C-alpha cells in the first residue's frame, strides 16, 4: 500500500467540499475534527467539563453544542436548500451560521447527513486534486 493514497488535503478539510444532498441541493462540508471545529468544541465544552466527566451533562445542552460546532465549523454553506412552513410552498434558505444552527437543531436527519459527509475521508483525499489537475 502506498501511503500517498491516504494523504488528505488540508485545504479541503478546512475550507470544505461541495456534497450532493438531494435534488438541486448541495452542502459545503468541512472535515469533522478540523482545527476550527476542535477549538470551538473545546471552548463550548470548557464550562461543562465536570458534568461531562461525571456523565451528568444535560443532553439538550450537548445537542446544542454539537449543532453549534457543526453550524460554525463544518457546514460552511449550501445551495438549493429549501423549507416549507405553515402550508406554504418551499422557500430557499439563505445560508448563515445562525440559520445553519436552526436547521441542524430542527432537522436531525440533515444533521446526520452533515456528520456522515464530514467523516467521509474519501471526499478530502489529496489525490482527487491531482487527478482533477490532469496529473
How does pLDDT run across 48-65, given as a tens digit for each residue?
999 989 999 999 999 999
Please report whether residue 92 resides in a domain: yes
Residue 128 has pLDDT above 70, yes or no: no
Q: In this predicted model, what pLDDT tens digit does every residue of 35-94 receive, in sequence order? A: 999 999 999 999 999 998 999 999 999 999 999 999 999 999 999 999 988 778 889 999
**pLDDT of 129:** 43
Provide the residue range defining the domain that includes 18: 10-127
Domain count, the chain: 1
Give domain status of residue 3, yes or no.
Answer: no
Domain membership flag for residue 5: no
Sign of CA dihedral 95, 9, 63, 47: negative
Q: In whole angstroms, what separates CA 108 from the centre of its chain?
A: 13
DSSP-derived pairing of the beta strands 75-79 and 82-83: unpaired
Residue 33 in any domain: the answer is yes
Strand 91-92 relative to strand 82-83: parallel, antiparallel, unpaired?
antiparallel
In a domain, 119, yes or no: yes
* Any domain includes 4: no
Residue 133, pLDDT above cutoff 60: no
CB–CB of 16/76 below 8 Å?
yes
Amino acid at each position: 500500500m502506498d501511503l500517498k493514497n491516504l494523504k488528505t488535503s488540508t485545504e479541503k478539510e478546512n475550507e470544505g467540499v461541495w456534497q450532493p444532498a438531494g435534488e438541486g441541493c448541495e452542502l459545503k462540508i468541512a472535515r469533522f475534527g478540523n482545527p476550527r471545529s476542535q477549538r470551538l468544541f473545546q471552548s463550548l465544552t470548557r464550562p461543562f467539563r465536570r458534568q461531562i466527566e461525571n456523565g451528568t451533562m444535560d443532553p439538550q445542552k450537548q445537542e446544542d453544542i454539537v449543532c453549534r460546532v457543526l453550524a460554525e465549523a463544518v457546514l460552511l454553506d449550501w445551495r438549493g436548500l429549501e423549507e416549507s412552513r405553515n402550508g406554504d410552498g418551499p422557500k430557499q434558505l439563505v445560508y448563515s451560521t445562525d440559520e445553519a444552527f436552526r436547521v441542524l437543531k430542527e432537522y436531525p436527519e440533515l444533521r446526520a447527513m452533515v456528520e456522515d459527509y464530514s467523516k467521509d475521508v474519501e471526499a478530502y483525499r489529496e489525490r482527487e486534486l491531482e487527478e482533477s489537475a490532469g496529473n
